[in-house]
Chains A and B, each alone.
Chain A
């Protein structure tokens, strides 16, 4: 069993960090994991994406051209990665910045207004954690409990309780957006 996701957006949206937090959760569940960044000549503000693979056996090819899941955080990423989602897979769309859906009929699509949710919580820079919460809730690539524990470990530094609290708030808002359909629209 191997599951994959590509997170894609632009530099500064926290794409790489979201992927790393997911990979850490996969590790915490005792799985094999690999985190592969986009790495190539990119300009500031250019595209940024990473792929996370979680498997129950040794991971072979680190390059996955047709990931099971894709989360796009801006419009150019939808154009680039929308066509690559494996048939039957899930495409999550940051509907705050993307006002269209993919025209594909062979995948499932879920919209999450990441920027709006983060802004409403006065934490506009944490759209990646909104997205992570929504992603884990939607796909259960790792369990929500494991992902929460990883957030606790990564953000719960002593004396910085407010950081953990803020992170948890946006993460849970992302989870709710999917589970309760708050602000989410599907075709």
Chain B
């Protein structure tokens, strides 16, 4: 199949279809409403379920219900809408059900604005809902990667029986790039026969619940979930290292759209012989702790610059991973402003102390 020129939001919709999603529940919010528009047409064509719910609360609880019944279910929303889904996220994680959430992040806090942001990083990686749980969180930086990680999200949700969250920013949702669906298909169907609530005629009832008043029983579940998260840390770390193997002086850490801007800035700096490399996490939970340590602790690397469309969130993961062993600087934009390559070139030069170009 030839490549198609698609908006990120539409590509998410088609990727979910390719991944065999059976049920989509949503409530419209800019900048991701095209996903719903696309799937309103496509889900019925493939015999799937499309419901525009009365609210994000309802949509997220519908996912809980559909996942409990063994369906491959998902939703998409944007920041304020994702906050409203926090309760269901916690419940779905607690019930150990597979589900996929996609957050096309807009600037905040509050209603904020509709322009791109990465201000939901901490919500995505450290919580969202209440209680002792984790989502597996993936952060694509191109439309093609958004397609591939959307399909992968459904596979991982099944593998861990745990929700997977994909975070993109508004720009990835809105822009069009060529995408290829060639060779991509649905993950194997999950065997849900031991737990799905599919009607209990002729068998013992299956009960999906999240209330456990016996502390020992609940602690056993907590430990089991902890083991899953530890397995994710061992098996699901993904990252890209860009121009890091020729003794760079500065390592820039960025993800999503911001990583693309960093890439352009690095290309320009390299034209002048300034050696800068990039570390781009693709999984942000689990965070690539060991890879960023290996890249940053190269003897040539004098310091690390974290760039985000926020006032400093992934920064905390980089600081945690590097344990104070390299100086860490931060450059952030907010309000929906996307950093320009020129300003990142300036910042890198400033940090390396060679503002006039060339090496110091």
A59 close to B260 (CB less than 8 A): yes
Which residues of chain A have C-beta atoms less than 8 A from B261's C-beta? 60-61, 63
Closest to B143 in A: A34
* Given contact pairs A33-B178, A34-B175, A60-B263, A39 touches B341 in the complex (Cβ within 8 A): no
Question: Measured between C-beta atoms, what is the minimum distance from B289 to chain A in Å?
Answer: 26
> Which chain A residues numbered 28 to 43 have a C-beta less than 8 Å away from chain B?
32-37, 39-41
Q: Of the candidates A33, A36, A62, which one forms a contact with B5 in the assembled complex, judged by CB atoms under 8 Å apart?
A: A33
A61 close to B175 (CB less than 8 A): no
Question: Measured between C-beta atoms, what is the minimum distance from A78 to chain B in Å?
Answer: 22
Q: How far is the CA of A39 from the CA of B263 in the complex (A)?
A: 23
Q: Of the candidates A34, A58, A65, which one forms a contact with B176 in the assembled complex, judged by CB atoms under 8 Å apart?
A: A34
Q: Of the candidates B113, B175, B336, which one forms a contact with A37 in the assembled complex, judged by CB atoms under 8 Å apart?
A: B175
* Given contact pairs A23-B5, A27-B5, A60 touches B341 in the complex (Cβ within 8 A): yes
Which residues of chain B have C-beta atoms less than 8 A from A62's C-beta? 171, 175, 257, 260, 338
**Does A24 sit within 8 A of B, measured CB to CB?**
yes
**Does A20 sit within 8 A of B, measured CB to CB?**
yes
> Which chain A residues numbered 139 to 187 have a C-beta less than 8 Å away from chain B?
none
**Does B340 sit within 8 A of A, measured CB to CB?**
yes
Question: Measured between C-beta atoms, what is the minimum distance from A146 to chain B in Å?
Answer: 14
**Tally of A-B Cβ pairs under 8 angstroms:** 64
**Does B290 sit within 8 A of A, measured CB to CB?**
no
Which residues of chain B have C-beta atoms less than 8 A from A58's C-beta? 263
B176 close to A35 (CB less than 8 A): yes
B5 close to A20 (CB less than 8 A): yes
* In the complex, per-residue mask of A63-105: 1 if CB is within 8 Å of any chain B CB, else 0: 1010000000000000000000000000000000000000000
Q: Of the candidates B3, B115, B175, B178, which one forms a contact with A36 in the assembled complex, judged by CB atoms under 8 Å apart?
A: B175
Which residues of chain B have C-beta atoms less than 8 A from A34's C-beta? 175-177
B264 close to A60 (CB less than 8 A): yes
A23 close to B267 (CB less than 8 A): no
Closest to B30 in A: A39
Q: How far is the CA of A37 from the CA of B8 in the complex (A)?
A: 12
Q: How far is the CA of A23 from the CA of B178 in the complex (A)?
A: 9
Which residues of chain A have C-beta atoms less than 8 A from B178's C-beta? 27, 32-33
Which residues of chain B have C-beta atoms less than 8 A from A65's C-beta? 340, 342
**Does B84 sit within 8 A of A, measured CB to CB?**
no
Which residues of chain B have C-beta atoms less than 8 A from A27's C-beta? 3, 5, 178
A60 close to B267 (CB less than 8 A): yes
Question: Measured between C-beta atoms, what is the minimum distance from B20 to chain A in Å?
Answer: 28
A39 close to B31 (CB less than 8 A): yes
Which residues of chain B have C-beta atoms less than 8 A from A20's C-beta? 5, 176
Which residues of chain B have C-beta atoms less than 8 A from A63's C-beta? 171, 261, 338, 340
Question: Measured between C-beta atoms, what is the minimum distance from B280 to chain A in Å?
Answer: 12
**Does B57 sit within 8 A of A, measured CB to CB?**
no
Q: How far is the CA of A32 from the CA of B3 in the complex (A)?
A: 11
* Given contact pairs A62-B175, A65-B340, A35 touches B5 in the complex (Cβ within 8 A): yes
A24, A35, A39: most-surrounded residue (chain B CB, <10 A): A39
Question: Measured between C-beta atoms, what is the minimum distance from A137 to chain B in Å?
Answer: 23
Closest to A24 in B: B5
Question: Measured between C-beta atoms, what is the minimum distance from B71 to chain A in Å?
Answer: 33
Known pairs A33-B177, A35-B176, A41-B113. 14 more at Cβ < 8 A? A20-B5, A23-B176, A27-B178, A33-B178, A36-B176, A37-B174, A40-B114, A40-B115, A41-B114, A58-B263, A60-B265, A60-B341, A61-B265, A62-B257
Cβ contacts A to B, 6 pairs, < 8 Å? A39-B114, A40-B336, A60-B263, A62-B171, A63-B338, A65-B342
